[in-house]
Amino acid sequence: MLEARLEQASILKKVVDAIKDLVQDCNFDCNDSGIALQAMDNSHVALVSMMLKAEGFSPYRCDRNIALGVNLTSLTKVLRAAQGDDILTIKAEDAPDVMNLLFESSGEDRISEYDLKLMDIDQEHLGIPETEYAATITMPSNEFRRICTDLAAMSESVGIEASKDGVKFSCNGDIGNGSVTLRSHTSIDKPENNVDIELTEPVSLTFSLKYLVNFCKAAALSNQVKICLSSEVPLLVEYNLSGSSYLRFYLAPKIGDDE
């Protein structure tokens, strides 16, 4: 059986909020190392990969590998019942029909418990290799979100151009064009505002802004976002959760007749 106690229910809430607009149904794969999730959107051009390591829970117990197939809209409805600082305990049998969610308010004077019906989801798993990216940009997640939403107002796609001068987000729409350029920036007072660009070679790629805006919903999870680019490979947008847990998004680049 599975029993995973998460000190902050808000983590799961935010994760589900971030991905529920990308995928409809997905499996939470539980094993002794933690809870993992991998799912693609309907068009199969974007992929979300989540890993909640066992260390993030206290305690964490998973006797055997189980897949909890849930509809994310339904899970959202249940998680809406949780306060952000509630303690969340996820429980499931070894061959579960339902997933049990228990919310304890920090004062321990309120306990709410929900059973969510599970579904069988046939999902293909992709093996994602460790990739050495040509450019890795670390920046405040709010900044990335702002850039994406601003540019999305003008155009459907954004060109991301990483060079040794900085990273330039540019778009070209019907009403005109625009661009945002960020340079490396280090602040000792506010390390969360740091912009760090690691570059092995210049990269220029085009991506769908609608998808990027969607990814940015995970900004609440982490102050910093890591964006990794390489020619001819999907963009990686990674939000670090507590410890070594992460939420990663992959997006296929637009190739060919862009602009």
Partner 1 sequence: MARTRSTKPSTAAPAADADSSRSKSAITLVPHSGEPPKVFILPSKATPEARIVTLPNPRNSQPSRYLACPDTGIYEFKRIAAPKSEPRSWLIEASTDSDQAKTGDNASASSQVTMGSELFVATALDPLFLVLPALADAKASKGSEKPKRLFLSSDDHLDKLPQESSHLSEILRWDTTRRLIESRMSAVCDTVDAGDESMFRLNEDKLLEVIYQKAKRMSKSGLPPSMEDKFVNKVLEAPLMHRVVRTESQVTSNPNSGTSTPQADSATSQSTVSSTETDASSVSQTSTAATSVAGEQADETIASALQASPETVELQKLKTAFEFICASYIPSGLADTLKQSFTGTGGPVDFSPLNDYLASLEKLRSETMAVRAQDYSRKRNMDEEEDEARMEKKRKMEEEKKKKASESRGVRELKKVNTSGMKKLSHFFQKK
- Contact residues toward partner 1 (CB under 8 A) are 20-25, 40-47, 71-74, 76, 124-129, 156, 206, 208, 210-211, 214, 233-234, 250-258
Question: Cβ of residue 130: shortest distance to partner 1, in angstroms?
Answer: 12
**How is residue 30 annotated by DSSP?**
E
Residue type, 51: M
Residue 42 or residue 186: which is nearer to partner 1 going by CB? Answer: 42
Residue 1 or residue 98: which is nearer to partner 1 going by CB? Answer: 98
Residue 49 or residue 240: which is nearer to partner 1 going by CB? Answer: 49
Residue 139 or residue 247: which is nearer to partner 1 going by CB? Answer: 247
User: How far is Cα 243 from Cα 60, in angstroms, rounded to an integer?
Assistant: 15
User: How far is Cα 198 from Cα 164, in angstroms, rounded to an integer?
Assistant: 9
Continuous segment of H or E residues that includes residue 142 = helix 141-152
Residue 158 or residue 182: which is nearer to partner 1 going by CB? Answer: 158
User: How far is Cα 65 from Cα 96, in angstroms, rounded to an integer?
Assistant: 11
Question: Cβ of residue 121: shortest distance to partner 1, in angstroms?
Answer: 12
User: How far is Cα 220 from Cα 18, in angstroms, rounded to an integer?
Assistant: 9
User: How far is Cα 123 from Cα 36, in angstroms, rounded to an integer?
Assistant: 13
Which of 238, 231, 225 has its CA nearest to residue 253? 231
**Partners of residue 179 on adjacent β-strands:** 170
Question: Cβ of residue 74: shortest distance to partner 1, in angstroms?
Answer: 7
Question: Cβ of residue 186: shortest distance to partner 1, in angstroms?
Answer: 33
Question: Cβ of residue 47: shortest distance to partner 1, in angstroms?
Answer: 5
